[in-house]
Amino acid sequence: MADKMKPPAYAGAVKNVTVSTLLDMKRKGVKIAMLTAYDFPTARLAEEAGVDVILVGDSVGMTKLGYESTLPVTIDEMLHHTKAVKRGMSRALLVADMPYLSYEIDLKEAVRNAGRLLKEGGAHAVKVEGGMEVAATIKEFLKINVPVFGHLGLTPQAVNRLGGYKVQGRSPEAAEKILTEARILEGAGVCAVVLECVPADLAKEITKRLQVPTIGIGAGPHCDGQVLVSDDMLGLSEAGPTKFVKRYADLRAQSLKAIGDYCREVRDGSFPGPEHSFTSQK
């Protein structure tokens, strides 16, 4: 296709996304595309490609910081990555995760941490994991004008209590509990709810019952939007594919080949060639 006939990279994406835009998208049946980013270049790419919501997930702990889970991630690490992402974007909605122990212990400290993600990090909203136990915290965040995303189902900060990264809400009782918690979160004032690793029919029911949008990850096709971890969908992660992740690229294999080729060419002297070298002035 000739260049001028190409649609703009953001075709289909909504411009200047706010929390009200998300409600509007749900009402109009326009699906929300959300993706994680942890740095400036990925934020640039995500925006250019048309992502509506960029999440600086605490998955940064595993994808970029080499931790085994999200639990060690600190508020300062979240701020560092949120600031970098913010510099790479101007159109999408920026959501930053509240990391483990930054909101569970002391309400005043929780409110300050949430406010810092907006004031210093430049986020437009924060995300917290859990149901009933975070409802009061969410209401406090709203008092200082911090919009909040909820997160139910497989909540990675609770991995030790859940006994692993497992699908949640499979039994009728467990499904009912997640549905109730989704309504509690909505009642507390969240602007969206992430549903992670729950059966598709449960996500469908929650999506139908809530006024605010649901964003699914491993939650089937009926949510109002979808989110993936960018490293997973780009094929950068070392871990084998998870059922719910679609790999749209294989950047790890491509990077390994490129770096391997570079090492070989340095060793056999074929890099740098004359085209990569400077000559003196004559």
What is the full DSSP assignment across 112-145?
HHHHHHHHTT--SEEE--BSHHHHHHHHHHHHTT
Whether 238 is catalytic is no
Site for ligand KIV, residues 27 to 46, rule: CB under 6 A: 36
State yes or no: residue 203 binds ligand KIV (CB under 6 A): no
* Minimum separation from the CB atom of position 59 to ligand KIV (A): 3
Q: Is 53 in the site for ligand KIV (CB under 6 A)?
A: no
Residues 211-230 that bind ligand KIV (CB under 6 A): 217, 227, 229
Residue 164, burial from CB neighbour count under 10 angstroms (0-12, 13-18, 19+)? exposed
Angle at 33 between CA 187 and CA 59, to 5 degrees: 80
Q: Which of 68, 104, 196, 238 is catalytic?
A: 196
> CA 103, CA 140: separation in Å to the nearest integer?
11
Q: Are 183 and 132 in contact (CB under 8 A)?
A: no
Radius of gyration of the chain (CA): 21
Residue 132 CB, shortest distance to ligand KIV, in Å, is: 19
Q: Does 97 contact ligand KIV by CB under 6 A?
A: yes
> 55 and 95 in contact (C-beta within 8 Å)?
yes
Which of 50, 57, 169, 213: binder of ligand KIV (CB under 6 A)?
A: 57
Tell whether residue 59 is a contact of ligand KIV (CB under 6 A). Answer: yes
Query: Which position's Cβ is nearest ligand KIV?
Result: 57
Which range, of 43-51, 52-60, 245-253, 255-263, touches ligand KIV by CB under 6 A? Answer: 52-60
CB-CB contact of 268 with 282 (8 Å): no
The answer to whether residue 84 forms part of the interface with ligand KIV (CB under 6 A) is: no
Among 47, 58, 181, 224, binds ligand KIV (CB under 6 A): 58
Report which secondary-structure segment, H or E, holds 76.
helix 75-87
Q: Catalytic positions, please?
A: 196
Residues interacting with ligand KIV, by CB under 6 A? 36, 55, 57-59, 97, 194, 196, 217, 227, 229
